[in-house]
Amino acid sequence: MDHTTSITLASAPYELKLARLDAHLGRLGSVLVAFSAGVDSTVLLHAAHRVLGERARGFIADSPSLPRAELSQARALAAAMGCELDVEPTNELEGEDYAVNDSTRCYHCKHALFDAMARRLEALGFQSMAFGEVIDDLSDDRPGAVAATEASVEAPLSAAGFTKADVRRYAREHALGVEDKPSSACLSSRIPRGTRVTRERLSQVEAAEARLKALGLRQLRVRHLGTRARVEVGADEEEFARSNREQLERALEEEGFPWTEWSLYRTPGGAPSPGPDKGLRSTSR
């Protein structure tokens, strides 16, 4: 889709976009939706189920880079929407192309996802696969979209002109409970490019983030920098992190990070944080 076309689609009234979405989904006949419990895929699965009923199902890859808490949330959300959800393990971590963690890692991840979906699609006798791309995604470098195109995966939301604001509106109007959910990313994104992705590193990051959330932080990322963790927190939680630093850093040390660097979290598309913020300095124990 070219830039002019995407602008035209996005500028249409919301009601027209919704009609386009429903028509697109209806033409699919049956669809398996890549589901992560994020706002985009939740809206797509809900809309597909609303239009197609039992001929729409969700699919989630049970990957080592998927936190167990997010898998549990995905199961619960699909059940709350009355949607069937297929959970299948994927083994992209066993592939050297993925594990080396270069600029193509996301491509290989999505390639594994769509391969697994295609096998399930055939077993179900369904006709189509779809993923939750929105218009905003088209301005980013998204290797996963290349894998989607190669696998003939539909993108009904972006085809209808849905923006991030539109999916949040849909989620709010249908009381899906995800309209304010922040964007997320897999655990592998916490490991710097060029550093090998291993189960041990993924598990360490998952455990560290779970510990910090249990202590009260909500939106955060723990970047794995060897024996050092770079912890990014939401701007509204900076004061909490500062006030509870000793307890938080003790938990990180117990998870194998004796050095801690603090920074403010930037949502995707926001200004990157080049280093520790002034109010959250690097420390060690």
Residue 167 has pLDDT above 50, yes or no: yes
Which pLDDT score is estimated for 7? 82
* CA 30 vs CA 40, 54, 55, 67, 172: distances in Å: 19, 8, 5, 29, 25
Which pLDDT score is estimated for 40? 97
Nearest to 40 by CA among 231, 184, 217: 184
Which pLDDT score is estimated for 278? 43
HSE at residue 64, side-chain half, CA atoms within 13 A, is 17
Nearest to 9 by CA among 161, 116, 211, 191: 161
Is 248 in contact with 281 (CB distance < 8 Å)? Answer: no
Run of H or E including 32: strand 31-34
In the chain, DSSP assigns E strands to: 31-34, 56-62, 85-89, 128-130, 220-225, 228-233, 259-264, 283-284
Reported pTM: 0.90
Domain 3-173 has CATH 3.30.1330.10: no
Residue 202 has pLDDT above 80, yes or no: yes
Per residue in 249-263, pLDDT (tens digit) is 999 999 999 999 999
In sign, the C-alpha dihedral spanning 207, 40, 150, 137 is: negative
Per residue in 56-84, pLDDT (tens digit) is 999 999 999 999 999 999 999 999 999 99
Nearest to 35 by CA among 82, 101, 80, 87: 87
Per residue in 121-137, pLDDT (tens digit) is 999 999 999 999 999 99
Residue 189 has pLDDT above 50, yes or no: yes
Which pLDDT score is estimated for 280? 55
Instruction: Give the percent of the chain with pLDDT over 70.
Output: 93
Which pLDDT score is estimated for 252? 98
The whole-angstrom separation of Cα 187 and Cα 34 is 18
Residue 275 has pLDDT above 70, yes or no: no
Amino acid present at 240: F
What's the pLDDT band for 139 if we cut at 50, 70, 90? Answer: confident
Is 62 in contact with 71 (CB distance < 8 Å)? Answer: yes
Which pLDDT score is estimated for 183? 79
The three-class DSSP label of residue 10 is: helix
Residue 284 has pLDDT above 60, yes or no: no
| Residue ranges of domains in the chain | 3-173, 198-284
